[in-house]
Amino acid sequence: MKKELLMASALVSTLGVASVAQAVTATMAGSMKVGAEFESADDSTTDSNTVSDLSNFNISLSETTDGGTTISTSFEIVDEGAVSADDDNAIKLTFTDGSALELLNAGNAAGTHVVAVPGASGEQGVGGTSTNNAPGDVDFAAGSTGLGIEWHSAADFLADGLKMSASFSTDNGAAKTETARLENSYGVGATYVTTAGDTTLTIGGGISGGEIANTGTAPSADKGGFNIGLSAVTGDLTVGVGYGDGDTFVANDATATSNREVAGSVMKAGVKYVTGDLTLALGVASGEAKDSDAFGTAGTSDDSSDSTSASVTYAVASGVSAVIGYTTVDTNNEGSASTDGGSAWYVGATMSF
């Protein structure tokens, strides 16, 4: 990881040298997280503890044309034991009226407007091995291919406090195989921000749809759904809730020889309070799904996952924080208790720049 960081630093320095012709403006940010996780799974699984070492380095590139259009993109290097690079980044054009257009790897507009729900900090998590497909994110039904675009409105579009987006992605030309894949998609989303007394309210959500391609049986429902959320901020207190519902799929997962279609929903809620150097956070999530072993047949048995997480974060110094986090998870797979449940503690520190 040290080599990658040195290379990235050298790149930023080079881009920032005034004598380099045609150099764009570059900014960088990153963090280093080090901590210990203590996981207690269900009675059939041995307890474990691990050291979590997570670093990331992000570089944002931008430049403005003579006509006032800003061209920007970014990339990220993440080290979680094995270095990987985030290359799913669009080229974004921001116009003088505040509207913007993302080209290639643009994502889905339904996911763009997901309202942030407060949740616990820390790297604690409970791992499992079953085929439980209960969703955990409210935009689980929003998908896209790399060959896509997304349009973003300017602020105060049609009404004060309103922003909207629309996206479309299409087939990348790859041949169909037994493994299912998303062939094309669309998404529409919006966010509305207003005030009520001392409280700032954010309402957001979107709808999405897409077609699934494979050489076998077609699914009984294509990928798509909706999400909606609400966040309220009053002084140092933030409260949020989000809900998502839709259809998705799992292509040739590790424990099945055929594609699985999934119809599910998830609800998330959380609260965060800042007092001095302390940040207290609590979040809950409840997901459920019906999945099937083969396309063309809707699932009948329920998968579920219910989790509660809490954390305390202390600002030790500028850019340095200490974190204690806890998560407990209760799951069912195909209508029966599964080995995915358990609890986990995390104690660590984060340094950010």
Residue of 123 and 288 predicted with greater confidence? 288
pLDDT in tens, 335-352: 776 667 788 999 999 999
pLDDT in tens, 131-178: 788 888 899 999 888 889 999 999 999 999 999 999 999 987 777 777
State the DSSP code for 42.
-
List the CATH number of the domain containing 172. 2.40.160.10
Range of lowest pLDDT (79-83, 150-154, 196-200, 319-323): 79-83
**Contact predicate 240/229, CB 8 Å:** yes
Q: For residue 63, which of 120, 16, 133, 3 has the smallest C-alpha distance?
A: 16
Express as a percent the part of the chain with pLDDT over 70.
Answer: 85
Domain count, the chain: 1
* Whole-structure pTM value: 0.82
**Contact predicate 118/309, CB 8 Å:** no
pLDDT at 273: 97
Per DSSP, the residues of 87-147 read: ----EEEE-TTS-EEEESS---HHHHTPPPPP---SS------S------STTTT----SS
Rounded average pLDDT over 54-66 = 91
User: Could you list the residue range(s) of the whole structural domain that residue 38 is in?
Assistant: 2-352
Residue 71 has pLDDT above 90, yes or no: yes
Q: For residue 50, which of 36, 62, 64 has the smallest C-alpha distance?
A: 36
pLDDT at 72: 93
Range of lowest pLDDT (13-17, 110-114, 173-177, 288-292): 13-17
Express as a percent the part of the chain with pLDDT over 90.
Answer: 54
Type of residue numbered 221: A
pLDDT in tens, 230-271: 999 999 999 999 999 999 988 765 555 568 889 999 999 999
pLDDT at 16: 44
Range of lowest pLDDT (17-21, 76-80, 204-208, 256-260): 17-21
